Chains A and B, each alone.
Chain A
Amino acid sequence: MDKILLIDDEPDILRVLGISLRADGYEVIPALNGAEGLQAFSREKPPIVITDIKMPGMDGIEVLEKIKALDPNTEVIIITGHGDIDNAIESLKYGASDFINKPVRDEALSIALARAKEKLDIRQKLSEYTTDLEKKIESATRELRRQTNFQIKLIRSSNDGIVATDQDLEVVIYNPGAESIFGYNQNEVIYKMAITELFPPEIADQFREALKGENGMKDIAWRETAIVARDGLDIPVRFSGTILQENGKEMGTVAFFQDLREIKRLEKELVKSERLAAVGQTVAGLAHGIKNILHGLKGGSYLVDIGIQRDDTEKLKKGWETIKRNIGRTSNLVMDLLSYSKEREPEYDACEPNEIVNDVYELVKAKASENRVDIAVEPDDTIGEVIMDGSIIHEVLLNLASNAVDACLFDEDVSKNWQVKLKTEMEPQHVIKFEVSDNGAGMEQEVLQKLFTSFFSTKGHRGTGLGLMVSRKLVEEHHGKIAVTSQLGRGTTFTVRLPYRTVEAGSPEK
């Protein structure tokens, strides 16, 4: 129920109006003068006050003034006498809500009250609305701050290196993940470096072009590459990038880097342990190789013994040569074993692959023609001087070429014209393909499977059983690939693909 403070110096009016208001459902607080009214106001805090304007002592205007001072939201309705227009106007100045003329008619009173109530309601709603709005803004701000903090934490705690820039490519975000990859501290980079100084040129260029909208690129897909850290070391990474846009306009870039050092190290270790396991597993194969050599040494010393007993220089000479030959075989086996189990970084230098192929050709030519095998070289003349490890090419091709001649030697189909071919071919993406093919004995599937991984020989005294394992290892160290196709009775083709750099560019891509 709404309270109304009713102030009038005439008790009759006070009584009559009071009855009428109570009948309308209001709780009426009557007061016979201004002072009494103000007292009641302070005590009861009614939202609506109705006061006569003409009263002895404190008049209605003064009451209005004081009430407004106490609570400006109070609706004050002034009752004016006949011809009291000036006072009525003044009362409006002090913030009276309304005024009604004497004699007070019920109708006029209820209209004034309805208006006052409406104003109160609106004010109430407005206040609620404002409070609500403030609350909403506060909670939105809190949420925004929380999200920002969350994102900052997310960026900070990410294991990936995250580097974001503004549209001038200047670094604005550079997280600890990036610190550990690039080796620079945050305070050396943020607002101090541009990614053109931090990233390899190819990545920085990609971002720059994307920002200018030149290559129409918005996302740079994950790829493996390497960055150069502060100390000059190449760090293998997975990289991806995005162009940041706002309202369709490029506003910056963000790059993500995953550190691949640990993975690369593990991969290397795995390859190494596989290789050592292969050596271990095939001790039997090794024993076989040694057995043959031992037999040769025994034969040699047998001959030497006879030579000494009989003073037979011819026997001595033959025996000694046999021993020397088998010492040579021992050393081949040991060298193969060593080069297989030892880590070696390729030594990249300028070389001419076609020249190396020719050298290999010269080395196997004699053995080939002795055994009625034609050998031919088919070089790709577009290959000139490049940066590769020439000694790897030489060793691998020599092994494959002499294998190819052996494959003809071991062929039981004597009607064939045996042929060995050495080919080079330039391939896209800085790769040179070397091909060694023969039309000799060929191999069964079973043999093909263990070719590169097992200590294995079908050549008796001719091989250590390690040649292809060593070749594969060398090729892989040169970041290349070796493959083989073969058909029993038809021949075999080995394909080696090795990456190269042009002489201007330096060492090959990893």
Chain B
Amino acid sequence: MGKKVLVVDDDPDVRLFSVTVLEENGYTPLEAANGEEGLKMIKEEKPDLVILDILMPRQSGIRLYRELKTDKALKKIEVIILSGIAKKTFLRSQKALTEFGGEEVPEPKVYLEKPVEPEVLAAEIKKILD
């Protein structure tokens, strides 16, 4: 069994894409369809990597990322953001939340804007996990 990677995205097409890339490259994919479910699975399954969407029902990727990175037990888990939202927008939202009285969170290691070639995603995953 390869390393566990959790895909959090409400779009089944995107999940299918990421899951296939993971399977093809020998990782064990897990799926969550929204932020709430995603956080639950992170806590239960302790995956090695999370591939995270931003715009989702039931807690957005922005919140999930923040909760992950401010939790002592979970903050080591690596995150790849895969979203239609521009990186600039994501960082601006995080900055706003920090200024609003939150803890500072590090920038995500990898930020990919859709559409993404499977080879590019696979290469980024490998870079982090291998």
Contact = CB atoms under 8 A, between A and B. Distances in A.
B59 interface: yes
A291 B84 contact: yes
A291 B10 contact: no
Contact of B11 (A292, A306, A318): A292
Contact of B114 (A292, A306, A412, A459): A292
Interface stretch (B65-73, B98-106, B115-123): B115-123
Interface stretch (A2-10, A295-303, A490-498): A295-303
Given A291-B113, A292-B84, A460 B17 contact: no
A458 interface: yes
B20 A302 contact: yes
A370 to B, nearest CB: 12
A425 B59 CA distance: 36
A325 B16 CA distance: 13
Given A414-B36, A460-B11, A295 B58 contact: no
B13 A322 contact: yes
Interface in B17-55: 17, 20-21, 24, 36, 53-55
Contacts, number: 78
A268 interface: no
B20 A326 contact: no
A299 B117 contact: no
A412 B59 contact: yes
Interface in A443-487: 458-462
A299 B17 contact: yes
Contact of A315 (B11, B20, B55, B85): B20
Interface in A265-301: 288, 291-292, 294-300
Contacts of A406: 57
A306 B24 contact: yes
A410 interface: yes
A120 interface: no
A307 B59 CA distance: 35
A409 interface: yes
Report the contact-size class of chain B (Cβ under 8 Å from the partner).
20 to 34
Contact of A409 (B17, B58, B63, B115): B58
B65 to A, nearest CB: 15
Contact of B55 (A300, A412, A460): A460
A257 B58 CA distance: 58
A406 B57 CA distance: 8
B11 A458 contact: no
Nearest to A289: B84
Contact of A291 (B13, B114, B117): B114
Interface in A292-336: 292, 294-300, 302-303, 306, 315, 318, 322, 325-326
B13 A299 contact: yes
B113 A326 contact: no
Contacts of B20: 299, 302-303, 306, 315
Contacts of B14: 295-296, 299, 461
Task: Please indicate which of the listed interface residues A292, A295, A302 has the most CB atoms of chain B within 10 Å of its own CB.
Answer: A295
Contact of A322 (B16, B57, B116, B117): B16
Contact of A295 (B17, B21, B36, B85): B17
Contact of A318 (B16, B54, B113): B16
B118 A414 contact: no
B58 A458 contact: no
B13 A326 contact: yes
Given A295-B115, A302-B20, A460-B53, A414 B58 contact: yes
Nearest to A410: B57
A298 B17 contact: yes
A303 B16 contact: yes
Nearest to A301: B118
Contacts of A458: 55
Given A295-B17, A306-B24, A409 B57 contact: yes
Interface in B77-98: 84-85
A322 B16 CA distance: 9
B56 interface: yes
A161 to B, nearest CB: 57
A297 B36 CA distance: 27
Contacts of B16: 299, 303, 318, 322
8 contacts: A299-B14, A299-B118, A302-B17, A325-B13, A411-B57, A412-B63, A460-B10, A461-B13
Given A291-B115, A295-B114, A462-B10, 15 more contacts: A292-B11, A294-B114, A294-B115, A295-B17, A299-B13, A300-B13, A302-B17, A303-B16, A303-B20, A306-B24, A318-B16, A322-B17, A326-B13, A412-B63, A414-B58
Interface of B: 10-11, 13-14, 16-17, 20-21, 24, 36, 53-59, 63, 84-85, 113-118
